[in-house]
Amino acid sequence: MPKEQLEQIGRTIRDARNEKGLSQEELSEMAGIDRAQLSRIEKGAVLGVSYDTIAKIFAALGMNLIPQKGELRMDKLHPFVKWAGGKTQLLDAILSHMPKSFGRYYEPFVGGGALLLRIQPETFSINDMNDELLSVYRCLCDEELFSRFKDELLRHEGNHSEEYYYQIRSLDKEPGFAELPIWVHAGRMVYLNKACFNGLYRVNAKGYFNVPSGKKKSVNCFDRENLQALHEYFMGAQPTITQGDFYDAVRNAQPGDFVYFDPPYDTWEDKDSFTSYSKDEFGKEAQARLAACFRELSDRGVLVMLSNHNTKYINELYAGFRINVVPAMRMINSKADGRGAVEEVLVTNYE
Ligand SMILES: C[S@@+](CC[C@H](N)C(=O)[O-])C[C@H]1O[C@@H](n2cnc3c(N)ncnc32)[C@H](O)[C@@H]1O
């Protein structure tokens, strides 16, 4: 959305507030938001402010002219990696099933973060099992780490060749790999994702990255504008980033917070599905553990949404919750018959 339009939203709010004789303190209290935040919005600084916050202000002013969801961002951010199970194509369906308002945003299976980057909450908690992936998010949150990470990406782009790819890929077999600086992990992660076959992240039983080269002549590791905008967003949000199992990541969620679960897919009864993001597979038992966690959060008054394949097993696990079926396309699968139209579900514990 162009800057002028953002400023227009800010002016509309300020003028309506003045017309009603309300101070910023009064309006922020009526809308249930922070006064400093209202002041920023009135100045046209909408970046990093969620749609729901704007909607709350409009509602408090009794205005029904609410801008469309997805139109409020100055920068359209997108994932820095291609990620198996990435939700870019399902975003419209997911947005239409999101709660109208919520407290803190949690994404315990963040992957490439397609939904997070679309809704851009002011701050949030993200988690994943994959520490290599998280090293990139961590570099986005700090000036020094970000600059070193970008240098790494430029170095990889400049050195790229078939041989170089395999050299970087095999770094994880060397002693001391875990102790390398975080920006080296982050740069390697993004480079391998861009240079490998089909943008897959897959490790073998020993935990070594084993995707073959994509045989590209040259590799563009990053979209300059997008990466800079991601950095600015993460610097402002200073999110909580954790590595580990989903269960621990949502332990502190409070009533009214929103948790979006996007786990590795449940496998189809008759097709192969991609579930090997890490050396620990996410099988039936893990899906059941997740459903128990969903129920536990729901009982605590947390707003919860889950996406998964529309399998019989998932329908059984989430019986009693709202199960919305949505059509989707699968893109990442090593076997051609694993691509094509499939049905997914969005399960919610709210209307
Ligand atoms: C379907 S992907 C998420 C995709 C993401 N929503 C996106 O838009 O790219 C599932 C993610 O769960 C992570 N994962 C696997 N097992 C996990 C676990 N037990 N706890 C937390 N994360 C896990 C994987 O590393 C992977 O990034």
**pLDDT per residue as tens digits for the range 253-286:** 999 999 999 999 998 866 555 555 555 589 999 9
What is the b/e burial string over 158-191, where b = at least 16 CB atoms within 10 angstroms of the residue's CB? eebeeebbeebbebbeeeeeeeeebbbbbbbbbb
Q: Can you tell me the distance from the alpha carbon of 199 to that of 285, in angstroms, rounded to the nearest whole number?
A: 28
- CA–centroid distance, residue 314 to ligand 1 (Å): 17
Backbone angles phi, psi at 40, to 5 degrees: -65, -40
Atom of ligand 1 nearest to the CA of 130: 25
Q: Can you tell me the distance from the alpha carbon of 54 to that of 119, in angstroms, rounded to the nearest whole number?
A: 12
HEC per residue, the chain: CCHHHHHHHHHHHHHHHHHCCCCHHHHHHHHCCCHHHHHHHHCCCCCCCCHHHHHHHHHHCCCCCCCCCCCCCCCCCCCCCCCCCCCHHHHHHHHHCCCCCCCCEEECCCCCCHHHHHHCCCCEEEEECCHHHHHHHHHHCCHHHHHHHHHHHHHHHHHCCHHHHHHHHHHHHCCCHHHCCHHHHHHHHHHHHHHEHHHCCCECCCCCECCCECCCCCCCCCCHHHHHHHHHHHHHHCCEEEECCHHHHCCCCCCCCEEEECCCCCCCCCCCCCCCCCCCCCCHHHHHHHHHHHHHHHHCCCEEEEEEECCHHHHHHCCCCEEEEEEEEECCCCCHHHCEEEEEEEEECCC
- CA–centroid distance, residue 267 to ligand 1 (Å): 15
For the chain, report the end-to-end CA distance as a whole number of angstroms. Answer: 30
CB 259 within 8 A of CB 297: yes
Question: Residues enclosing ligand 1, CB less than 6 A?
Answer: 83, 85-87, 108-109, 111-114, 127-130, 245-246, 262-264, 277-278, 282
Class of domain 3-60: mainly alpha
Q: Do domains 3-60 and 134-224 have the same CATH topology?
A: no
- CA–centroid distance, residue 49 to ligand 1 (Å): 25
Q: Amino acid identity of 341? A: A
Which among 129, 132, 284 is the best mutation to test ligand 1's pocket, defined by most ligand atoms within 8 Å of the CB?
A: 129
The verdict on domain 134-224 having CATH code 3.40.50.300 is: no
Q: What is the pLDDT of residue 188?
A: 98
- CA–centroid distance, residue 244 to ligand 1 (Å): 10
Write the CA distances from 270 to 160, 266, 267, integer angstroms.
40, 12, 8
- CA–centroid distance, residue 29 to ligand 1 (Å): 37
Residues lower than pLDDT 50 in the chain = 65-74, 332-338
Instruction: Name the fold adopted by 88-129+244-348.
Output: Rossmann fold (3.40.50)
Question: Domain limits of the chain?
Answer: 3-60, 88-129+244-348, 134-224
CB 219 within 8 A of CB 191: yes
Beta strand 340-348 with 258-261 is unpaired
Q: What is the pLDDT of residue 334?
A: 46
Q: What is the pLDDT of residue 179?
A: 97
- CA–centroid distance, residue 83 to ligand 1 (Å): 9
Atom of ligand 1 nearest to the CA of 263: 10
Please report, to the nearest 10 degrees, the dihedral formed by the alpha carbons of residues 89, 204, 261, 319 taken in order: 100
Q: Specify the residue with its C-alpha closest to ligand 1, atom 23.
A: 129
- CA–centroid distance, residue 168 to ligand 1 (Å): 24
**Could you give the count of Cα atoms lying within 13 Å of 145 in the half-sphere of its Cβ?**
17
Atom of ligand 1 nearest to the CA of 87: 8
Q: Can you tell me the distance from the alpha carbon of 310 to that of 321, in angstroms, rounded to the nearest whole number?
A: 14
Helix axes 35-42, 51-60, angle to 10 degrees: 90
CB atoms within 10 A of CB 233: 21
